[in-house]
Amino acid sequence: MTTSDILEQGNPATDGRAFRRCLGQFATGVTVMTAQHGEVRAGMAVNSFAALSLEPPLVLWSIRCASGSLPVFTQADHFAVNVLAGDQVELANRFAASGIDKFGTTPWTPGATGSPVLGGTVATLECAREQVLEGGDHLIIVGRVLHFTRSAGEPLLFAQGRYALSQDHPAALREVPKPAAPDTGADWSLLRLLHFASHEMSAAFDAKRRAAGLTVGQFRIYGWLRDQPRTLAQLERLAFLGNQNANDSLADLVDRGHVVRGMDGRYALTEQGHVAAVASGQRVQRFEEQVFRGLAPDDIEATRRVLGALMQRAGAGTAPPERRAA
């Protein structure tokens, strides 16, 4: 590792914002923890979940001591871990917020042990609370898994402060031996090429963004503030950012004099911020121009046709019917 790879370092006690960004380098899934005590239900988005033990089957997660949901989770004998699917970002946002009715607008059923079980997830773990341990400003909750359910779908990720999906490692595809089929081998490599090209272009753009001194959070917030002021909650949702990342990114931009918080609680670009936001947009354009420069316009149009057709076919959930065969 060369020193130039280091983005920031320090003591967590003196730079909390940078420390949180550093913790965000460890990617996680997203869970919603649910419990019911008497008539009171609690649900909160949590990414500090971890498997703990197989025999006995234990899992753990942690909850802020100051959390309003703490009493329910420490009083109820049971809780459920709902592992969110890739298409449940809105649900994640809802359960990350406070002061709103979370269960009223969410499909759920009571689980075998009484904890609310959310629909559409990729996994549910119904647990008995086994232990509560102290851990600084959080409590560690250990649960014994009584019943598990695994459902189809891809998991939602939270990585580097934003919601994301996982993709197969390109290197894993690189090495899969081709099926022995000379007539279609060419097509298969186009699918692999698609996967690779997509990953490489994202990485190249990320490098450009980083070279411009912008985090993803800042980059996306510039984009969403360009046309109008917005609230923190709106920015989180539109930019697929976690609350802490949205908060910290805004704080950075406020420190920089690029964003101000209005009386109505909405954030707006300053004149200087508007210049930076426009420059950020132009960076995207320049990247595109460079990437496609020198390629034949006919080839680009053909690529657009092919990708558009692939998307339609995949999106419809089925490949085209057999009878269309040549």
Interacting positions 133-172 with a second copy (CB under 8 A): 133, 135-138, 140, 142, 145-155, 157, 159-160, 162-172
Task: Tell me if residue 111 falls in helix, strand or coil.
Answer: coil
153 φ/ψ angles, rounded to the nearest 5 degrees: 130, 170
Smallest gap from Cβ 38 to a second copy, in A, equals 26
Q: Which parts of 109-138 interact with a second copy (CB under 8 A)?
A: 119-123, 125, 131, 133, 135-138
Among 75, 77, 110, 176, binds a second copy (CB under 8 A): 176
Considering the complex, what minimum distance in angstroms separates the CB of residue 77 from a second copy?
18
Number of chain residues interacting with a second copy (CB under 8 A):
154
**CA angle, 288 as apex, 283 and 289 as ends, to 5°?**
95
Closer to a second copy by Cβ: residue 211 or 263: 211
The alpha carbon of 36 is separated from its chain's Cα centroid by a whole number of angstroms, namely: 27
The residue assigned the tokens 């490599």 is 189
Least CB distance to a second copy at residue 162 (A): 7
Considering only 72-80, 252-260, 263-271, 291-299, which stretch makes contact with a second copy by CB under 8 A? Answer: 291-299
CB of 49 to a second copy, least distance (A): 6
Residue 45 CB, nearest approach to a second copy (Å): 13
b/e map 120-148, b = 16+ CB within 10 Å: ebbbbbbbebbeeeeeeebbbbbbbbeee
Site residues for a second copy, window 29-68 (CB under 8 A)? 29, 31, 48-62
In whole angstroms, the minimum distance from the beta carbon of 221 to a second copy comes to: 11
Which value, to the nearest 10 degrees, does the dihedral of the CA atoms of residues 238, 243, 244, 245 take?
A: -10
Q: Does 204 bind a second copy (CB under 8 A)?
A: yes
In the block, residue with structure tokens 């809105």: 90
Q: Exposed, middle or buried: residue 308 (CB in 10 Å: 0-12, 13-18, 19+)?
A: exposed
The residue (of 40 and 207) whose beta carbon lies closer to a second copy is 207
Q: Which of 21, 243, 271, 269 is nearest to 7 (CA)?
A: 21
The answer to whether 275 contacts a second copy (rule: CB under 8 A) is no
**80 touching a second copy, by CB under 8 A:** no
Could you say whether residue 196 binds a second copy (CB under 8 A)?
Answer: yes
Question: CA torsion sign, 65 to 69 to 75 to 81?
Answer: negative
Q: Which is nearer to a second copy, 172 or 263 (CB)?
A: 172
φ, ψ (nearest 5 deg) of residue 71: -55, -40
For residue 256, state whether it binds a second copy (rule: CB under 8 A).
no
Residues 215-234: x/- map of binding to a second copy (CB under 8 A)? Answer: -----x--xx-xx-------
Q: Toward a second copy, which CB reaches closer, 1 or 263?
A: 1
Using the minimum distance from each CB to a second copy, give the nearer residue, 27 or 40: 27
How many CB atoms are located within 10 Å of the residue 239 CB?
21
Identify whether the C-beta of residue 139 lies closer than 8 Å to the C-beta of residue 133. yes
Of these, 101, 180, 213, 264, which contacts a second copy (CB under 8 A)?
Answer: 180
Extract the tokens encoding 153: 């779908």
Binding to a second copy by residue 310, rule CB under 8 A?
yes
Angular region, 134: left φ>0, alpha ψ -120 to 50, beta rest: beta
CB of 316 to a second copy, least distance (A): 9
Cα separation, 106 vs 102, whole angstroms:
7
Instruction: Indicate the residue among 39 and 227 with the shorter CB distance to a second copy.
Output: 227
Q: Map the footprint of a second copy across residues 89-108, applying CB under 8 A.
A: 89, 107
